[in-house]
Amino acid sequence: MHDIEPYFRWRDNYIASEDPNSPFFNREYNEFHFTNTIYNYYIHPQWDYFGSPTLYMKIIYVDYDGGYAIFDMIGEWNDCLTNDIMYLKRNIVDHLIPHGIHKYIIIGENVLNFHAGEEDYYEEWNDDLAEYDGYVAIVNILNHVENELNTNRICDYVRYGGPLNEINWRGGKPARLIKLVEAAIQRIPNRLPGW
């Protein structure tokens, strides 16, 4: 896992540690010293700790004019034991919403497992975004993670699956990913199960 880096090809467009509105503003990274782990596995030092012991992230792009944020995630999303959604909502999202960010795209290809807990923070996040016509969309999640999300009705609050799992986003610019996500959301006939 230490070889998996957050997506870095958009650093010409955005760097969270240089953004004064970012919760990671002024964070410094040591490229040669690995300290963060998911269970007993070291992860690349560019991943950001936000409170969860099993899930790390990188804010890889924010567009304040368009109201978008794109997160790259890695690890086990465990709401049951460690309430990861609470950390994400309180330590990251609640920091960005006042700056006009109401559309969140989560790159989910490195989220290895999902364990559900209470839905309160998902519902709160959804309610916070509703008045701005915002959303949370997860791109390219693994099949077993999607099944767990469906089983626990996270689809009532977060958009994922279907055409969102078919997006080839690497290599393009952030604006392209945003357009692809918007188009995929429009192609979903009503909602996925529970929407």
When pLDDT is averaged across residues 78-82 and rounded to a whole number, the result is: 95
Q: What is the DSSP string of the chain?
A: -TT-PPP-TTTTT--GGG-TTSTTTT----TT----EETTEE--TTSBP-S-SSEEEEEEEEETTTTEEEEEEEEEEETTTS-HHHHHIIIIIHHHGGGT--EEEEEEEEEEEEE---SHHHHHHHHHHHTTT-EEEEES--HHHHHHHHHTTGGGT-B-SGGGGG---TTS-HHHHHHHHHHHHHHSSS-STT-
Q: What is the pLDDT of residue 1?
A: 59
Strands 135-139 and 55-63: unpaired
Q: Domain residue spans in the chain?
A: 16-187
55 backbone φψ class: left, alpha, beta (φ>0; ψ -120 to 50):
beta
| Residue range 16-187, CATH number | 3.30.750.24
Q: Is the pLDDT of residue 2 over 70?
A: no
Residues 132-183 have pLDDT tens digits of: 999 999 999 999 999 999 999 898 899 999 999 999 999 899 999 999 999 9
Q: Output the pTM of the full model.
A: 0.93
- pLDDT band, residue 85 (cuts 50/70/90): very high
